[in-house]
Amino acid sequence: MVLTAIYAISFYLATLILIGGLAYKIIEYARTPAPLKVPTMPAPLTTGGVVVRMFEEVVFFKSLFRSHLKWTWLLGIMFHAALLVILLRHLRYFIEPVWWWVVLVQPFGKYGSFAMIVALLGLLGRRFLVERVNYISNPSDYLMLVLLLVIGASGTMTTFVAHTDIVQFKAFMLGVLYFDWQPLPADGPLLVHLAAVILLMVIFPFSKLLHAPGIFFSPSRNQVDNAREKRHLAPWALAKFETSRGTPPQPSV
Amino acid sequence: MAAKVEFQVPALRPYPYVPDLVPDSMKGKGPFVAKPDFQTPLGFPGPLVDNWQEVAIEKMGEMLKKYRSLRVYLDVCVRCGACTDKCHYFLGTRDPKNMPVARQDLLRQVYRRYFTLAGKFFPKLVGAKDLTKDVLDDWYNYFHQCSQCRRCSVFCPYGIDTADISMAAREIMDSIGLGQKYCNEIIGKVYKIGNNLGLPEPALRNTLEGLEEDIQTDIGVPVRFPIDEEGADILLVTPSADFFAEPHIDGLIGYAKVFHQAGMSWTLSSYASEAGNFGMFIGSYENMRQISLRIRKAALDLKVKRIVFGECGHAWRVAYSFLNTLAGPFDFLDPKYPVPQHICEVTLDLIKRGALKLDKTANDHRRITFHDSCNVARGSRMGDKPGGQFFIPREVIKASCNFFYDMPADTIHDQTFCCGGGGGLLTDDLIELRVKGALPRIEALKHVVDTHSVTNMASICAICKSQFTKVLPYYGFKMDMIVSVHQLVSTAIVL
Ligand code: SF4
Ligand code: SF4
């Protein structure tokens, strides 16, 4: 019961930190103005065009693809796609009855974990092997991949090696959701898996994982190219300069 | 002036390549530091203030609140490495701190230390560092090895723009009294005299009169170079290098001939006799605005209807992207025309309407390629379609020349390489950097010289023109290989 309590409470705290931290960062990004028009050109001329540009970046990693680092792109796409499928698959632990399309996703998610592990190993490998990437890597960059690998490997083990009692685990998860705690199966891989996920949730808003919300706020990608047509002015610039238009220094010739 | 630096000019290699790292190969003291006299007119202290560390951190905090780009870019880099081989300075110097992400990290490490929880509690883990004198020295050195060309931002999955980071870093350094002599002295000249080169009005008038006389003698046509003519339709704002440097001046002659043949009424301004705006290079909104306001004032004083910019890369970025923000609204100008317009837009429009008589064969002794200037390519647009900044100058060239060949696809358009002298680095004390930074462009140029016998490279940027004039000889090319786009028009136009 102690174990159940520790994990349940950790889940609550981690969720609070994740949501609170992300909300804080997103509000901070949204509130900070971009005082100048700085899209990387050529840029779309309309908001619709920006939506398309963003879609291409978020779904296909278009800029990364253009960088000729085809392996990085492939591993990156592979990791993120696998992660998406796996996350969808995990929905079944949080809902009852399970939606039909979540049932459909199950087999993909099951084997997707292998794709994720392979991609992560590839990404880790290039941090060691590619001189330039090695140079720019901090300890946290390796540890992030290791953490994800631990999550992937332990999760895979619960399915393929030390089969976890998922009926009992689902009861635990729903119990956490509805504040009606049920015992957590004390399986090694499952406990490691959950602990690593909780850790990931906690560090998310303090780490480079902020790239997920951050990309939508990147001025070089989300601005419309209409500087000549529409005057773009940040509130601070308006307040500082536009109330009394300063005159430039006079020439002294 | 700087003593001649001894260094090895890099050998041209088969293109493309990614070099190995040579750590600290460009470590140094950076360009000359601005004396206090050059700092004051810009509103900056000097020399380095005593509590510089405190002031710098405070300034950084202030900028994080004003610039979302800074905040987001410093947070979201995942160190994927996509940008690492995209910077011409890295390719030319092999110094790992010239990899864009490593350059950003110089600022990011300090941001993390003072503004993020992870950096406050686990500095080693996330690569956070205190702002020490060593770090400041690296800032000064390596943020003056970035020409703010934005090539890295094209390939970054989040669009992280190292140019923005460099500008912010320079602004922070200026605020603690550590400014760069070249940029800040020039901005001072604009305030005092009206242009980057410090050409006073009488000298300017003289030059223009001389040009009129020369053309009259050469071709017997009275092409005018009007200055301060109130009531003209067009105010032409052009980089001051156009008034005396080669091949810039041939471009200026080209604009004048175009206006002449089209029968357009235009004027230069002695007050706003500079298109360039070095306020951008030092990341100073305030200074960039002051310089921009001069153009507004000139337009109002001269009662013009349109503003047209001459061939200048970063000037066009500031003009196209920022002028409306900084010095607008321009509701007093003729709403039929965009404000401002690029001279290439004007010329191409005239060509399309059949208003110019061009004899392409006059350029048959030249085989041309076009160098997309970084600020035009990635910081602006021309015309009404995305990418007009690539096609419009090329169409102008093709209307004036029979032989045109593009350099390899990954070195043009939005993947163009900077000339190596942009961003406030066009100074003799940085000549080694300039020569090495030009390497990727020169390699691409060599490719079309070898495959298409290209004789000349055309450009629409005053900095590119000056830079190539200087560095081409280091690589065994003639300095007059670089030409102005409107120089080609000037050669072809039949008056
Ligand atoms: S491409 Fe962008 S995210 Fe990748 S290392 Fe460079 S700056 Fe960071
Ligand atoms: S902006 Fe240009 S010069 Fe600066 S780091 Fe990026 S590629 Fe290099």
DSSP B164-189: HHHHHHHHHHHHTT--BHHHHHHHHH
Residue nearest to atom 8 of ligand 1 (CA): B77
Query: Is B61 within 8 Å of chain A by CB?
Result: no
Which residue CA neighbors atom 7 of ligand 1 most closely?
B101
| B386 contacts on A by Cβ (under 8 Å) | 41-45, 225
Q: What is the pLDDT of residues B300-336, one digit of tens each?
A: 999 999 999 999 999 999 999 999 999 999 999 999 9
Q: Are residues B193 and B141 in the same domain?
A: no
Of B69, B158, B340, the CB nearest to A38: B69
Q: Look at A41 and B65 and tell me if their CB atoms are within 8 Å.
A: no
C-alpha span between A113 and A200 (Å, rounded):
17
pLDDT for res A110? 83
- CB burial of residue B14 (10 Å; 0-12, 13-18, 19+): exposed
* Same domain membership, residue B197 and residue B173: no
Ligand nearest to C-alpha B159: 1
Start-to-end CA distance of chain B, whole Å, equals 43
The pLDDT of A176-190, averaged and rounded, is: 94
Chain A contact for B92, CB < 8 A? no
Average pLDDT, chain A: 93
- Please indicate, yes or no, whether residues B256 and B386 belong to a single structural domain of this protein: yes
The parent domain of residue B341 ranges over 187-492
- Closest residue in chain A to residue B187, using alpha carbons only: A249
Q: What's the order of all strands across the beta sheet hosting B482-484?
A: B368-370, B456-459, B482-484
User: How many angstroms separate the CA atoms of A192 and A164, rounded?
Assistant: 12
Contacts of B67 in chain A (CB under 8 A): 32-35
pLDDT at res. A70: 85
Domain end: B137, B153, B179, which one?
B179
CA distance B449 to B446: 5
Which of B336, B360, B362, B359 is CA-nearest to residue B349? B336
Contacts of A38 in chain B (CB under 8 A): 69, 161, 164, 321, 379
Name which of B42, B63, B72 to mutate to probe chain A: the one with the most chain A Cβ atoms within 10 A of its Cβ. Answer: B72
Shortest distance between the Cα of A74 and any Cα of chain B, in A, equals 12
Q: pLDDT value at position B14?
A: 66
Identify the CATH number of the domain in which residue B73 sits: 1.10.1060
Q: Do B473 and B387 have their domain in common? A: yes
**Both B170 and B297 in a single domain?**
no
Cα A27 to ligand 1 centroid, rounded to whole Å: 23
Contacts of B160 in chain A (CB under 8 A): 218, 220
**Tens digit of pLDDT for each residue in B145-202?**
999 999 999 999 999 999 999 999 999 999 999 999 999 999 999 999 989 988 999 9
- B363 vs B347: CA distance, rounded Å: 17
Q: Is residue B236 part of a domain?
A: yes
Cα angle for residues B158, B438, B378 (degrees, 5° grid): 35
Q: Is B169 in the pocket of ligand 2 (CB under 6 A)?
A: no
Assess whether the C-beta atom of B100 lies below 6 angstroms from ligand 2. Answer: yes
Name the percent of chain B lying above pLDDT 70: 98
For the cut 70, the answer to whether the pLDDT of residue B254 exceeds it is yes
Taking residue A71's Cβ as centre, other Cβ atoms within 10 Å add up to 13
pLDDT in tens, A15-72: 999 999 999 999 999 999 999 999 999 999 999 999 999 999 999 999 999 997 789 9
Give, for A70, the enclosing helix (H) or strand (E): helix A70-90
Confidence of residue A96 (pLDDT cuts 50, 70, 90): confident
User: Where does a domain end: B159, B179, B199?
Assistant: B179
pLDDT at A249 > cutoff 50: no
Look at residue B485 in the predicted model and tell me its pLDDT: 98
The answer to whether residue B20 is domain-embedded is: no
- Residue B13 domain-assigned? no
Q: Does ligand 2 lie within 6 Å of residue B154's CB atom?
A: no
Total tally of structural domains belonging to chain B: 2
Category of B413 on φ-ψ map: left (φ > 0), alpha (ψ -120 to 50) or beta: left
Q: Which of A140, A232, A246 sits opposite B126 (nearest CB)?
A: A140
What is the CA(B212)–ligand 1 centre distance, in A?
52
Domain assignment present for residue B16? The answer is no
| pLDDT on residue A247 | 46
Nearest to B161 among A28, A40, A210 (CB): A40
Number of Cβ within 10 Å of residue A225's Cβ equals 22
Does B12 fall in a domain?
A: no
Q: Which of B86, B98, B104, B149 to mutate to test the pocket of ligand 2 (most atoms within 8 A of CB)?
A: B149
Residue B15 at interface with chain A, using a CB cutoff of 8 Å: no
Tell me the nearest-neighbour CA distance from B420 into chain A, angstroms. Answer: 19
Of all protein residues, the one whose alpha carbon is nearest to atom 3 of ligand 2 is: B146
pLDDT, tens digit, for every residue of B214-229? 999 999 999 999 999 9
Neighbours of B24 (CB within 10 A): 10
Query: CA A236 to CA B66: how far, in whole Å?
Result: 7
Q: Does B74 map to a domain?
A: yes
Domains of chain A: 2-226 (1.20.950.20)
Domain check: are B219 and B117 in the same one?
no
Ligand 1 centroid – CA B288 distance (Å): 28
Q: B257 and B336: one domain? A: yes
**Is residue B23, in this structure, part of any structural domain at all?**
no
pLDDT digits (tens, 9 = 90+) for A220-243: 999 999 999 999 999 999 998 876
Q: Are residues B293 and B351 in the same domain?
A: yes
Question: What's the CA-to-centroid distance between B55 and ligand 2, angstroms?
Answer: 27
What is the value of ipTM here, to two decimals? 0.93
Backbone φ/ψ region at B446: left (φ over 0), alpha (ψ -120 to 50), beta: alpha
- If asked whether residues B223 and B90 sit together in one domain, one would say no
**Per-residue tokens: A181:** 């705690």
Instruction: Indicate whether B354 belongs to any domain.
Output: yes
Residues B171 and B205 in one domain: no
Q: Which of residues 361-380 of B touch A (CB under 8 A)?
A: 377-380
What one-letter code names the amino acid at A155? G
Contacts of B307 in chain A (CB under 8 A): none
The verdict on a CB contact (< 8 Å) between A140 and B125 is yes
CA distances from B339 to A112, A224, B47 (A): 53, 17, 39
E strands in A6-160: none
One-character DSSP codes across A139-159: HHHHHHHHHHHHHHHHHHHHH
Cβ of residue B22 closer than 8 Å to a chain A Cβ: no
* Phi, psi values for residue B125, rounded to 5°: -60, -40
Q: Which of A62, A253, A113 is nearest to B191 (CA)?
A: A253
Residues with CB under 6 A from ligand 1: B 77-83, 100-101, 156-158, 160
Looking at every residue in chain B, the average pLDDT score rounds to 96
B459 and B339 part of one domain: yes
What pLDDT was estimated at residue B17? 65
Does B256 lie in the same domain as B140?
Answer: no
The residue from B121, B156, B179 where one domain ends is B179
Residues of A in contact with B324 (CB under 8 A): 227-228, 230-232
B460 phi, psi to nearest 5 deg: -120, 45
Contact A251 B271 (CB under 8 A): yes
pLDDT tens digits, residue range B12-26? Answer: 876 556 778 999 999
Chain A residues with CB inside 8 Å of B156's CB?
Answer: 63-64
What percentage of chain B carries pLDDT values higher than 90? 95
